[in-house]
Amino acid sequence: MEEKEIKVRDREALLFHSSGRPGKIEITASKPLTTQRDLSLAYSPGVAVPCLEIAKNPATAYDYTSKGNMVAVISNGTAVLGLGNLGALASKPVMEGKAVLFKRFADVDGLDLEVSTEDVDEFVNCVRFLGATFGGINLEDIKAPECFIIESRLRELMDIPVFHDDQHGTAIIAASGLINACDLTGRDLADIKLVVNGAGAAAIAVAALVKSMGVSPDNVIMCDSRGVIYKGREDGMNQWKSAHAADTDARTLEDAMKGADAVFGLSVKGAITPAMVKSMAKRPIIFAMANPDPEISPEEVAEIRDDAICATGRSDYPNQINNVLGFPYIFRGALDVQASTINEEMKIAAAHAVAALAREDVPDEVAAAYSGRRLQYGPEYIIPAPFDPRLIIAVPKAVAQAAMDSGVARRPIFDMGEYENQLRSRLDPTAAHLQLISDYVRAHPKRIAFAEGEEETVIRAAAAFRNSGYGTPILVGREDRILHTAKQLGIESLEGVEITNAALSHDNRKYAEFLYERLQRKGYLWRDCQRMVNQKRNVFAATMVAMGQADGMITGLTRNFNRSFSDISSVIDAKDGEIPMGLSIAIAKGRTVFIADTRVHDVPDAQQLAEIAIQAAKKARQLGHEPRVALISHSTFGNPWTEDTDRIREAVSILENADVDFEFDGDMSVDVALDTELLKLYPFCRLSGPANVLVMPALHAATTASKLLGKLGGGTVIGPVMIGLAKPAQITQMGATVNDLVNLAALAAHEAEHG
């Protein structure tokens, strides 16, 4: 099953960028700035001390400032994505996005800088003086040939890494794919005949890199829109093309492709024809990397060749040549050894590291997310998946080692094992696992009922759910109102979205019979059940789920939790051996804490607390965390003792006797549970590190803590996620955003597949 392409509507993208604080990035302080003493240390007079140290020894800037983890993302907007010369200001959303990717994938602080000039000298003169601020420079979306001149001059003038990702990022990932494609087809890099179609920044960088990796220059033919770039050609030439001019009689792309082992397309849709592919050597390697549409699609190749290995730049085909596999991790390794440049040795090391990762066994969580596609080293898996959690270790290590071996590292790493641990701790696994869940749902789309289907936010969420490829959203409500509201919202079409009116459904009698069978001995009459199905959309949606006509449901936007949960629990039972509960997932500053129970149990007894701990630990493990569970109290190990702590201590005893497979302890206050230094005061504590699962003593404490974090914590709170029900039903918080609804709907869809 091929992965679904994610569709994003214009209005949806604009709302994403404009909602809340406009844009995608902000600056936050990494030190406390609360008291006058804090300010005195951060600024005058305390700041003078590190200033003087840096003046004496400039290398200490990496110790006393953020320079060592900061990369400038710089553009003049002359080649923005595939949109052309939009100018510096219009490139800012892309540059902010690049900064977000640096942070998301490698914990590198990216800061975007848009330079309003197309003059090479002015641009270079602007950037050259920024070396004191940043640990590296990432050039982006600058047109050729100016990008070559700018990068070359800045590399000479600056003593920090300067890297044009449009060139080298593409080159590195394409080269890694070529390494594995050659391995699978029994070829040696030194012997392959390669055609590069395109002569822009990426194409020239690809040609240069593969040649430095061992591909014979005599076996590489580059083509542009005028045909083959051959020795002696004068038309449309420049010094960068001339460096790759071939000694050949071929004059057209068609000529060059005859008998070629591999072709790299970095040009335009349709540039490679079926006839050209047919003329290639046995087991051809075809990387059609034009975006958004490749030079030739894998389907077209498959019609004429069953022995080809294909790659594209798209996520909906196997073997995506995706720069995000490279640039965050390359800079991570370069920054960590304070490299003065990113040289050929470091690029080659990155390419080999990415290639080697694809030959290793795929982690279970990654394989599960892409189970619609065979993630086993072979023709359809020569490049790792973009969200493979091993990339953060494999690529920076290789790059750092190459920097040290080639003599450009100013702060060598002496303990690579410890460096691995540091890299592993750089990123919280939650975001990666949530992405893997999203990918899994796209491969296994589900039918999710949105009970409050007439609400604007719900309609937008249903459209986003559909556009994300998660499956079919079912809006419960009156069709005329839903269509009218959608039109007002600017949603052009609700194709792929089902609408069902609870009052008019042909299934109402069947649903009422099902409900009456459940509730007749609980004081409900037949007409009560009929009325509930006809008038209560939560009951209607839950019955759809219970009877298999929807895979899951979501509600809660307009009704409080108790009312929604009462409706749902009248239809859906608890899962065998579990209790219904809410789990909030708080993510802030690269750290995730799970808070339970934030939904159901007012003052849970000891047995319930133990069950909550077990179920929360299970969910934490599913999201990539090794659970360390703290049963929270106002006291810490009996100080001060009150009668209320007895049930918490009893819950700990129950867990001890249950022989669970995770760390736990309690009673303890939340500050002790989360603070490494405070935990050291209690050497008998079972927790090996700060807790990541907090089992709260009562509903009011759990709900207050999670909502406070959501409003003041500077992070993201997902959920509460309902767990413990026999069928997937999620209840969002009143006033939830579109993103909240889509996330919970995706989790419901994932639960429908996994149970």
Active site residues: 98
Amino acid code (one letter) for 666: G
* Amino acid sitting at position 594: F
504 is in an annotated binding site: no
Instruction: Look at residue 703 and give its three-state secondary structure.
Output: helix
One-letter amino acid for residue 438 of the chain: S
- Is 46 annotated in a binding site? The answer is no
Tokens 């030190």 locate to: 31
User: How many C-beta atoms lie closer than 10 Å to residue 730's C-beta?
Assistant: 29
Residues 6+ apart with CB under 8 A from 250: 221, 228, 230, 256, 258
In whole angstroms, give the CA distance from residue 140 to residue 80.
Answer: 8
Secondary structure of 597-658 in HEC code, one letter for each residue: CCCCCCCCCHHHHHHHHHHHHHHHHHCCCCCEEEEECCCECCECCCCCHHHHHHHHHHHHHH
Are the C-beta atoms of residues 398 and 353 closer than 8 Å to each other?
Answer: yes
**Does 578 carry a binding-site annotation?**
no
508 is in an annotated binding site: no
Q: Is 681 annotated as a binding residue?
A: no
Backbone phi, psi, residue 189, to 5°: -55, -35
Long-range contacts of residues 668-672, Cβ cutoff 8 Å, at least 24 apart: 668/630, 668/631, 668/632, 668/633, 668/635, 668/636, 668/637, 669/632, 669/633, 669/634, 669/635, 669/636, 670/630, 670/632, 670/694, 670/705, 672/636
Q: What CA–CA distance (Å, rounded) separates 336 from 410?
A: 10
**166 belongs to an annotated ligand binding site:** yes
Please answer whether residues 745 and 733 qualify as being in contact, where contact means their C-beta atoms are separated by less than 8 angstroms. no
Q: Is 679 annotated as a binding residue?
A: no
Closest by alpha carbon to 136, among 323, 326, 327? 327
Has 255 been labeled as part of a binding site? no
189 in a known ligand binding site: no
Residue type, 379: P
Cα separation of 570 and 660, whole Å?
Answer: 32
AA letter at 367: A
Residue 83 annotated as part of some ligand binding site: yes
Four-residue CA torsion sign, 425, 427, 431, 435: negative
Degrees (nearest 5) of the Cα angle 409, 413, 419?
130
Phi, psi dihedrals of residue 365, rounded to the nearest 5°: -70, -35
Q: How far apart are CA 174 and CA 82, in angstroms?
A: 19
Q: Is 109 annotated as a binding residue?
A: no
Helix (H, G, I), strand (E, B) or coil at 254: helix
Tokens 């839950």 label which residue? Answer: 542
Neighbour tally for 448: CB within 10 Å? 29
Strand partners, 582: 722
SS3 310: strand
Which is nearest to 513 in space by CA: 552, 543, 542?
543
Tokens of 112: 């975007």
Closest alpha carbon to 165 in 144, 141, 145, 131? 141
265 has binding-site annotation: no
Residues tagged in the binding site annotation for a divalent metal cation: 140-141, 166, 291
Binding site feature residues: 80-87, 140-141, 166, 291
Q: Residue ranges for the binding site for NADP(+)? A: 80-87
